[in-house]
Amino acid sequence: MNENPLNGYIRKRTHSLGWSMIVMGVSFFLYYLGLFGNVDGPLTPETLGKSLAGMGVEKVHMLMFFLSFFIIALTWNHIFNLVTYITGSSSAPVKKGVVSHTIWVVALAFCVILRFY
């Protein structure tokens, strides 16, 4: 059965709109909890910093966490590429999407911020 190309386009746009609404809802929820620092709430950066300091977490601990996370994410990325290459699953470069690369780039950015802040 042939699918109408317009139907595929509409379905794609509907999924995209749905995901946008979900992300917007989560963002509003986090905003009103104070995560972005504009509204007082339990997730205000100042409150989070005080609670972490109260637990004894220091800058070095956070740097070790994000550095470990960076190493794990980058290693996973290379292992995935190697296994894909060995099994011959793809003759072209592997396209894992933005998420795979974004994770290790964000972890590296946090390491740099913590190191020089």
d(CA 103, CA 99): 6
- Per-residue pLDDT, 87: 85
Print pLDDT tens along the chain (117 aa): 556 666 788 889 999 999 999 999 999 999 999 988 888 989 998 898 899 999 999 989 999 999 999 999 888 888 887 887 888 776 556 566 677 788 888 888 998 988 887
- Per-residue pLDDT, 2: 57
- Per-residue pLDDT, 95: 62
User: How many structural domains compose the chain?
Assistant: 2
Same-domain pairing of 1 and 17? yes
Same-domain pairing of 87 and 113? yes
- Per-residue pLDDT, 102: 84
DSSP-derived letter for residue 68 is H
- Per-residue pLDDT, 6: 66
This prediction's pTM: 0.62
Same-domain pairing of 63 and 102? yes
Same-domain pairing of 81 and 116? yes
Same-domain pairing of 52 and 62? no
Same-domain pairing of 1 and 51? yes
**Distance between alpha carbon 92 and the CA centroid of its chain, in Å?**
25
Segments forming the whole domain that contains residue 107: 58-117
Same-domain pairing of 17 and 44? yes
- Per-residue pLDDT, 84: 79
